[in-house]
Structure 1
Amino acid sequence: MNYISTVIIVVVVSVLMKYLLASSKKQPIINEEGTIILKMNKAYAIIGYIGIAFTAIIGIIASLGTVKSNQDLFIVIGLVLLFLGLSVPLVLVAKRVKIEANEEKITYIGITGKQKVIMWNDIKKVGFSKSMLELALITDKTKIKVHMHYIGFPTLIELMKSKVEYSLCKDAIYSIETVSNRF
């Protein structure tokens, strides 16, 4: 039975990764000024909402008198905190975080609305983490990370290729292509 559940988990994760990568290749939103707007895939919000619903279900079941001891109470509280701690950030990232890029600069707008701005010509280093699936654009003072699952990610890469010196980004581009071909 353990073998079957492992296979199911691997298949579900593989299908989800394939879907997220395929949807990242969709065209991003482009506003009237020609700025590319990348937003996180809506699947992240859906997964987050499912986690929040699961947390509510755990809370409802616990409040119906199923918690008999302090140990059970600590387990329920731990599960609620775990699921909320994992689910709420997924919803917030999907709903609030966005990246805007144009011919001059790239702007990261975080969960709180705080902005990080990098001018293309100020970039000193470009990296890509295969484990985190994040592109890192680094200047002397600022670092912006762009996850590969943002819708329009390949469009951003094409813009980066035209704006950043090739020697700075060639390794990152190679890593991105390697990961893209894996799925």
Structure 2
Amino acid sequence: NKSLRDEIESGRFREDLMYRIRIVPLFLPPLVEREGDIEALTWHFIKEFNERALVREATRDQSDPNDLPCRRIHFVAPDAHARLLAYQWPGNVRELRNVIEYAFAVGEGPVLSLAELPPELRGEPPPRTSRGHVGGFSPEDDEKARIVEALRIANGLKSQAAELLGISRTTLWRKMRELKLET
């Protein structure tokens, strides 16, 4: 990602070519400044790789023990979710896509966990300049959505949902009561 103006001035890019390709210039802030986009893109890429897995699953040879089933992700563990939001994303959207693809390749099961993220994301995250919630959702809304999704994946089994969320069953019951979810 370089300024074409700077590249032209240094002689590394032809000015006439810039005028041919520059119809509507787009200036996007880096992904790290668009926290809401990080979450939306994460789920977009998860959906993309889930669909790919479904296609591959339909064509795999189930009689071959080496042709393993394809992974599908339905939930992002809270610690992995927090790390995805806290990471600086120097490679922007391409890097985020590669991280999700990496998690599909190295992990198992329906939950994307922190351990399945690349090593550079598992370390202690540097502080972010902005930590506000984007899109008008409160932390309670996010927590409620995560609990509802965990319960859906666990077919209503609270002990399994609590495990997916990384909390105790008692804590899950308390949070469900506080958030006025059916217990």
TM-score range, shorter chain: under 0.3
TM-score, length basis structure 1: 0.26
Hey, which of these two has a bigger chunk of strand by percent?
Answer: 1
Report 1 or 2 for greater relative contact order, CA contacts < 8 Å, sequence distance ≥ 6. Answer: 1
TM-score (normalizing by structure 2): 0.26
